[in-house]
Structure 1
């Protein structure tokens, strides 16, 4: 059975709402911790570029359900785990200038790109759901 609804009703949302920012940051903390443990166990501090690539992928994945406002915090949390446990193995936070700024920029770009991709996919899907098609009524 097909149920027809007007688009103006509050029950129908053509575009899904993003996840709350604190939940995204909590997931970033938990996931970055797990990734730091796994990466330090597998490769040690000898492969910071691999760790950066993995954390960039994780930040992009976290960007999918997140709002744009969660991207800076997600990038910061991922950078803290990268810098504190994967580049310097003793848990010391250091600032090396341009390399750390570039790492933070890459993490932020990954989080924003993940969010942008999700928003574009949701917008296209909403457009297809709300645009009258050529099919039968």
Structure 2
């Protein structure tokens, strides 16, 4: 006798984060393209706009990455922000309060993106588990009597 069994019982696995080197390569390439685009369209004298755009990029990359990739992603975005989004282009500098704030913004954006991804995946897995267990018939004869 052939018995048909559903293959989609239980929870779906939570998606694995993208490998950290791939996230960092995407952060470097994406930040380079984004800074070049901003420099050609609005000019290099707009670091606040570049910081906002790079923070958005960091948050999107954080959504795909693990928590361990966050510091490297933030530093790579900061390097391109510091080196090419403020004049003189191609020169790295360190101004304590400004660069600390920029690094904190980029790191926070990356961590928020990663945390939101983990919450979204956990919620989806939880809803799958609860809907699967609520819709299954109760096969145990003594369930609910204790």
1:3 aligns with 2:2: no
Query: Normalising by structure 2, what TM-score?
Result: 0.84
CA RMSD of aligned residues (A): 1.9
Deviations 1:9-64 (A, max 9, x none): xxx75211111100000000110010011010011122110110000000000001
C-alpha distance in 2 between matches for 1:28 and 1:70:
10
Q: Tell me the SS of whatever aligns to 1:64.
A: helix
C-alpha distance in 2 between matches for 1:97 and 1:26:
27
1:61 aligns with 2:60: yes
Which consecutive unaligned segments of at least 5 residues does structure 1 have? none
**Within 5 A, what are the aligned runs for 1:72-111?**
72-111=71-110
Which consecutive unaligned segments of at least 5 residues does structure 2 have? 138-146
Deviations 1:49-104 (A, max 9, x none): 01100000000000011000000000000000000000134210000111100000
User: Rg bigger for which structure?
Assistant: 2
C-alpha distance in 2 between matches for 1:59 and 1:87:
19
Return the offset for 1:135. 3.6
Report how many aligned residue pairs link the two structures. Answer: 133
**Within 5 A, what are the aligned runs for 1:3-42?**
3-4=6-7, 14-42=13-41
Q: 4+ runs of 1 displaced by more than 4 Å? A: none
C-alpha distance in 1 between matches for 2:18 and 2:74:
16
